[in-house]
Amino acid sequence: MNFLDHPPRFFFFTGKGGVGKTSIACATAVKLADAGKRVLLVSTDPASNVGQVFGVAIGNAITAIVAVPNLFALEIDPQAAAQTYRDRIVGPVRGVLPDTVVRGIEEQLSGACTTEIAAFDEFTALLVDSALTADYDHVLFDTAPTGHTIRLLQLPGAWSGFLAEGKGDASCLGPLAGLEKQREQYKAAVDALADAARTRLVLVARAQASTLREVARTHEELADIGLRQQYLVINGVLPEGAAGDDELAAAVFAREQAAITTIPDALKALPRDQIALKSFNLVGLDALHHLLDNVETLAEHPAATNAEPIVAPTLATLVDEIAADAHGLVMVMGKGGVGKTTLAAAVAVELAHRGLPVHLTTSDPAAHLTETLSETLENLSVSRIDPHAETERYRQHVLETKGAKLDAQGRALLKEDLRSPCTEEIAVFQAFSRIIREAGKKFVVMDTAPTGHTLLLLDATGAYHREIARQMDDKGIHFTTPMMQLQDPKQTKVLLVTLAETTPVLEAANLQDDLRRAGIEPWAWIINNSIAAARTCSPLLLQRAANERREIDAVAKVHAQRYALVPLLKDEPVGEENLRALSQSQATTNAEADL
């Protein structure tokens, strides 16, 4: 493995949920410890399962992994860290400021940026020379801070004054209030991150075009702020020998090799490793020892595996219920890499095929979808919102209004505030909001929607209300805001997309909680690219299918009011026919009994 050559003291593993960064971090820790190095493995992943991987209870205290001499682990609970962090900031103003103001501050501190900064606050001490890490040769971090967080920590002080004077917008600067005491430690930590002799960033991806594009954006964002010591690991690549005579496995192999061949230019110069897809769950030392070896024998595949696809509701079942309303807003949401854009297109195409008028709107830049839906389909209209153009338009508007009277330092803070992940969500949703009104007379299928945190921030400031009132240019007319429409289950159906894997399911559950705080109840879950719902005779894929069943069971019985299972298909979901195929599967009836 290239990324293990001449290992530095610090490793950071980063990537979207479900790509396998925790498993790779654990396997790396074991390999270094086996080589006689004293290793500390630290996880700040909200979906961390490091303890599960090693079969040891790990908490917010350094714990020895008894089965691996020289290995120690620490799990920082980011949610607990964020709550402690919020209490530290909000506590002094409770009972002093009006309750509505306190609730607004709490909501500003409820987003992903607060969680990330709170976790960074916890592990910065591990990045600088201290008694905590003095005895370790290597410190490995499962999950790295984003470029946005690091840029925030590099900006000048005066966070509290900037926020207190109301100069910020719907922001991610709020989490930085009251951090002046740690600024020297933060500077040392950021310096350590940028030092190629001390720190190596490992970007973990899957052999999928969309995932590789996402990693390319992460690479460029981190490189722009000086974090250039990066390695790329493409995980879970189907071995050629596993395809055999199985049509599905052969198609997956060809698809993955095409994605690797056409890797984004930004990633081509990075040192690269590939890790073969394994049939077994990556739990326990035997599994970890094999992960980086790229060796797997057929003996590791169980001899007896149920080859029949799982019986579960299909996407067509959900579309039947949606179509019965004749019109409405359908929001398709989910974390990156789960296929929500493709499924939004599949829902729209299926509704249009039934003779219903549909407007599909997306901000996803995926070229294959643009090509797929560039053809004219009866009853279907498509709009593509350019998130970069919309975000730049929004930034300029805020700078020309709120930023007009700020000094140089204030404008620097505001500009960074406007580079937060929330800003793009706000800008894109404002563009979406112009289309939402159509849902009263046709179906509007919306891809790439904002989180509940962002919606609550905007609703609290009245931004949507004022914007729509301004567009109507008549405050005397009654109107319904997008937020009100999203909260009405008769007008809006939210579909959460996930994969049948532990981390994506947990991330979708967290997103569901986030939406519920905003008064939005998800209508259904869609489990995408399921091997368990497909027909295969590949021993490796059959075992992967067996591993999926626990996660499908959790969605069906714990998380979702209703759900659908979409099979992994042999053909790429491009074109009307292949998109419609996503609505069908081998099984067509309701089926917890087979789980």
Q: Tens of pLDDT along 57-81? A: 888 889 999 999 999 999 887 778 8
Predicted confidence band at 238 (pLDDT cuts at 50, 70, 90)?
A: very high
Which whole number is the average pLDDT over 549-569? 96
Cβ atoms 208, 368 nearer than 8 A: no
**Higher pLDDT among residues 170 and 194, named by residue:** 194
CATH number, domain with residue 536: 3.40.50.300
Give the model confidence (pLDDT) of 144-153 as tens digits: 666 656 665 5
Residues 257 and 205 in one domain: yes
Residues 6 or more apart from 537 whose CB is under 8 A from it?
A: 244, 245, 246, 307
Please give the pLDDT value at position 129. Answer: 67
Residues 450 and 588 in one domain: yes
Residues 208 and 142 in one domain: yes
* Max avg pLDDT among 227-231, 253-257, 289-293, 469-473: 253-257
Domain boundary among 300, 326, 342: 300
Has residue 594 got a pLDDT over 50? Answer: no
Instruction: Report yes or no on 411 lying in a domain.
Output: no
**Whole-Å CA distances, 461 to 99, 105, 358:** 15, 11, 32
Which whole number is the average pLDDT over 327-346? 89
Which whole number is the average pLDDT over 406-414? 79
Instruction: Report yes or no on 527 lying in a domain.
Output: yes
Residues 25 and 164 in one domain: yes
Q: Give CA–CA dist 197/473, Å, rounded.
A: 59
Return the percentage of the chain with pLDDT > 70, whole number.
Answer: 80
Please give the pLDDT value at position 162. Answer: 46
Domain boundary among 273, 300, 327: 300
Please give the pLDDT value at position 374. Answer: 61
Q: Which of 118-122, 240-244, 476-480, 551-555 has the lowest mean pLDDT?
A: 476-480
Q: What is the mean pLDDT of the chain?
A: 81
Please give the pLDDT value at position 467. Answer: 53
Q: Exposed, middle or buried by CB within 10 Å (0-12, 13-18, 19+), for 478? A: exposed
Residues 112 and 52 in one domain: yes
* Max avg pLDDT among 111-120, 239-248, 289-298: 239-248
Please give the pLDDT value at position 160. Answer: 42
Instruction: Report yes or no on 421 lying in a domain.
Output: no
Has residue 506 got a pLDDT over 90? Answer: no
Instruction: Report yes or no on 281 lying in a domain.
Output: yes
**What is the pTM (predicted TM-score) of this model?**
0.81
Q: Which of 53-57, 178-182, 268-272, 516-520 has the lowest mean pLDDT?
A: 178-182
Residues 292 and 347 in one domain: no
Please give the pLDDT value at position 46. Answer: 61
Instruction: Report yes or no on 164 lying in a domain.
Output: yes
Has residue 330 got a pLDDT over 60? Answer: yes
Predicted confidence band at 4 (pLDDT cuts at 50, 70, 90)?
A: very high
Instruction: Report yes or no on 323 lying in a domain.
Output: yes
Looking at the annotation, which residues are catalytic?
Answer: 18, 20-23, 45, 503
Q: Which of 99-108, 200-209, 406-415, 457-466 has the lowest mean pLDDT?
A: 457-466
Domain boundary among 300, 335, 352: 300
Q: Sign of torsion, CA 370 371 376 377?
A: negative
The type of residue at 469 is A
Please give the pLDDT value at position 592. Answer: 40
Residues 78 and 145 in one domain: yes
Q: Sign of torsion, CA 284 286 291 297?
A: negative
Instruction: Report yes or no on 415 lying in a domain.
Output: no
Has residue 220 got a pLDDT over 60? Answer: yes
Please give the pLDDT value at position 367. Answer: 46
Q: Give CA–CA dist 402/404, Å, rounded.
A: 6
Which whole number is the average pLDDT over 77-90? 80
Residues 6 or more apart from 151 whose CB is under 8 A from it?
A: 225, 416, 419
User: 468-472: long-range contacts (C-beta < 8 A, 24 or more apart)?
Assistant: 468/433, 471/434
Residues 139 and 175 in one domain: yes
Has residue 299 got a pLDDT over 50? Answer: no
Residues 296 and 320 in one domain: no
Q: Sign of torsion, CA 446 448 453 455?
A: negative
The type of residue at 159 is W
Please give the pLDDT value at position 466. Answer: 52
Expressed as residue numbers, the domain containing 363 is 315-385+438-594
Give the model confidence (pLDDT) of 465-502 as tens digits: 555 555 555 555 555 677 778 888 889 999 999 999 88
Predicted confidence band at 459 (pLDDT cuts at 50, 70, 90)?
A: low
Give the model confidence (pLDDT) of 198-212 as tens digits: 999 999 999 988 789
The type of residue at 324 is A
**Higher pLDDT among residues 284 and 510, named by residue:** 510
Residues 294 and 374 in one domain: no
Domain count, the chain: 2
Residues 127 and 221 in one domain: yes
Please give the pLDDT value at position 149. Answer: 63
Residues 180 and 282 in one domain: yes
Q: Is 524 strand, coil or helix?
A: strand
Instruction: Report yes or no on 429 lying in a domain.
Output: no
Please give the pLDDT value at position 175. Answer: 53
Has residue 320 got a pLDDT over 70? Answer: yes
